[in-house]
Amino acid sequence: MPERRRVLVTGASRGLGRAIALALAERDFDLALGYRSGRHAAEGVADEVRGRGAEAVLLPFDIADRDAARKALEQELAERGPFWGAVHNAGVTADAAFPSLSGEEWDRVLRTNLDGFYNTLHPLVMPMVRAHRGGRIVALSSAAGLAGNRGQTNYAASKAGLIGAVKSLAQELAKRGIAVNCVAPGLIESDMSDDEALRKQLGDRIPMRRLGRPEEVAATVAFLFSEEAGYITGQVISVNGGLL
């Protein structure tokens, strides 16, 4: 029986992270569910993962806290061995027009979204390399990281930075059989978009005239973890309904 492959998903307790975890469980990956808060919700996702026949463990840590992230991940590696893959999904926003954007808002978004990439993946990469099993890494960027967005200078900077990090790391890890890619969602259904008027306003900006579903983004991530996607690396795949 082949050894099962284990994947870390950060921000897995709700929304897009939950959808990604479930999509990977459907493809027979075992999951470590990273989350900062909301243990009850994370436990619910773990139950859903197990209901799909995969294993799930909870891994609470703040990706913006470098020392805490390393401690949690190194303990997990010591107990269960290296991961085969990771999804850097957790992120935050703090929107404001640039003249009124505070230093704290800039720092918090960059430290979580961009520094979190380093804080999460740096402890994992060399164990993946030493395992000689190949692997997959996917980071969630954003349409804002490709085209910018008013009121999101900090967020767009963090998500654009992820694209550069992914393209560089992909070149470093390609000879190890580890593929590294970005998925860049556009406007996706969320608690924020429950208001019908807001949904119509957002949807009118999109050629397909609707918001995307978390499951559509998750399916793209899951594809990048498949054998069929083994020759795709260093790429940015947009899931945005044609949004330019």
Enumerate the active-site residues.
Answer: 155
Q: DSSP assignment, residue 209?
A: S
Measuring CA to CA, how many Å separate 178 from each of 58, 59, 132? 24, 23, 9
CA atoms of 187 and 82, how far apart (whole Å):
34
**What's the residue count for the chain?**
244
CA atoms of 17 and 12, how far apart (whole Å):
4
CB distance 31 to 82 below 8 Å: no
Residue 174, classed as helix, strand or coil, is: helix
Sign of the dihedral through C-alpha 207, 17, 37, 50:
positive
**Cross-strand bridge partners of residue 138:** 87, 181
Tokens 């463990």 map to which residue? Answer: 57
Burial class (CB in 10 A: 0-12, 13-18, 19+), 37: exposed
